[in-house]
Amino acid sequence: MKKKFKMVDLDCANCAAKMENAIRKIDGVQEATVSFMAQRLTVEAEDSRFEEIMDQIVKACKKVEPGCQIVR
């Protein structure tokens, strides 16, 4: 399943790249891109565990930039 999320207060381009790397390493994530310009996260992940994977993604992003929020 592929889903798009808006990201609020994604302020630094380097952080976006770091988040992208962190998300890609999460188990069950097939493909992920964090676009700094569009302030948008695109995730392709296993259907059955999508919500659980999203929780992990939010946690991973908080680690990189605590102020940034993913609108779910």
Partner 1 sequence: MTGKQKKMLLRILVSGVLLIAAVLVPYEGPWRFLLFLPAYFTIGWDVLWRAIVNIGHGQVFDENFLMALATVGAFCTGFFGHGEYPEAVFVMLFYQVGELFQSYAVGKSRKSIADLMDIRPDYANVERDGVLEQVDPEDIAIGDEIVIRPGERIPLDGTVAEGASSLDTAALTGESLPREVGEGDAVTSGCVNISGLLRVKVSKPFEESTVSKILDLVENSSSKKARAENFITKFARYYTPLVVCSALALAVLPPLLLGGGWADWVQRALIFLVVSCPCALVISVPLSFFGGIGGASRQGILVKGANYLEALAKAETMVFDKTGTLTQGVFRVAGIYPQGRTETELLEMAALAESYSSHPISRSLKEAWGQEPQPGRAAGAEEIPGRGVRAQVDGRAVCAGNQKFMEELGIACAPCQQAGTAVHVAVDGAYAGYLVIADQPKEDAAQAIRDLKAAGVKQTVMLTGDRREVGESTAQALGLDAVYTQLLPAEKVEKVEALLQQKQPKTTLAFVGDGINDAPVLSRADIGIAMGGLGSDAAIEAADIVLMDDKPSKIAKAMFIARRTLAIVRQNIIFALAIKGLVLLLSAMGLSNMWEAVFADVGVAVLAILNAMRALRVPQD
Pick the closer one to partner 1 by CB: 1 or 17: 17
Q: Provide the 8-state DSSP code for 9.
A: S
Half-sphere exposure of 54 (CA within 13 A, CB side): 18
With CB under 8 A as the contact rule, the residue among 5, 26, 42, 58 that binds partner 1 is 42
Shortest Å distance, C-beta 62 to partner 1: 8
Pick the closer one to partner 1 by CB: 13 or 48: 13
Using only C-alpha atoms, the chain has a radius of gyration, in whole angstroms, of 11
Q: Which of these, 39, 34, 35, 28, lies nearest to 1 by C-alpha position?
A: 28
Q: Which residues bind partner 1 (CB under 8 A)?
A: 9, 11-15, 17-18, 20-21, 33, 35-40, 42, 63-64, 66
